[in-house]
Amino acid sequence: MEEEKINKVKDILEWAFCIVIALVIALLFRYYIGTPTIVKQPSMYPTLKENQRLWLNRWQRTTKKLPSKGDIITFEAPSKTVLSISEKEKDVVARYENEPTSALGKFSYHVLEISKTSYIKRVIGVPKDHVVIQDGKVYVNDKLLEESYLQSGVITDNGKGCVTDVIVPENCVFVMGDNRPQSTDSRCFGCIPLERIESKVWIRIWPLNLFGKIDR
């Protein structure tokens, strides 16, 4: 009888161990390789629509590789969504403040992504690019940016902020949503640092009739 109890305890411990290992593998895969997500805002319309399901490629973050112009990425939402004039004159990099400092807090925020907000936007400028927004149009390095992904008639205004003429700093990108009138983006909060980029949008997995790789 005693031996039977011991065997039951062993079985329970073995199952618990397997479950813990499976959870660890799932977390590592989600953080370093890829994960699904749902589009919750209209800022990337018409390219991405609300409630569509996407598969995110997080290998780019793992390798710390800067995305290319035209890529659609996800990144940690800045703590400050609008730069003041004085802040913009100081630098044009997005602000991230009031982050957790304890080990458990950092794990919950960065790995489990509890209470973390992410944005989906398109990369418009990479380091050393000169991005100018003028008369409703976007110019990169003095050339008009061809944006076939925009809905007909959409113009690019100054957004809610004042970042409309910027040379993108090193290890940063300038991003905007395709639905310019309804997008909070680098026009408002500045350029996104490489370490805040989480993933590249890779595949649309729902609805099934639109399943496939998302091109630029």
- Which residues carry out catalysis? 43, 121
Distance CA 204, CA 120 (A): 13
Residues 6+ apart with CB under 8 A from 196: 75, 76, 78, 94, 96
Distance CA 207, CA 77 (A): 26
Q: Any bridge partners for residue 166, and if so which?
A: 131
Q: Taking the alpha carbons of 110, 115, 119, 125 in that order, is the dihedral positive or negative?
A: negative
CA distances (Å), origin 50, targets 39, 162, 186: 5, 27, 21
What is the enclosing helix (H) or strand (E) of 210?
none
Q: Is 181 within 8 Å of 43 (Cβ atoms)?
A: no
Residues in the chain: 216
What is the enclosing helix (H) or strand (E) of 156?
none
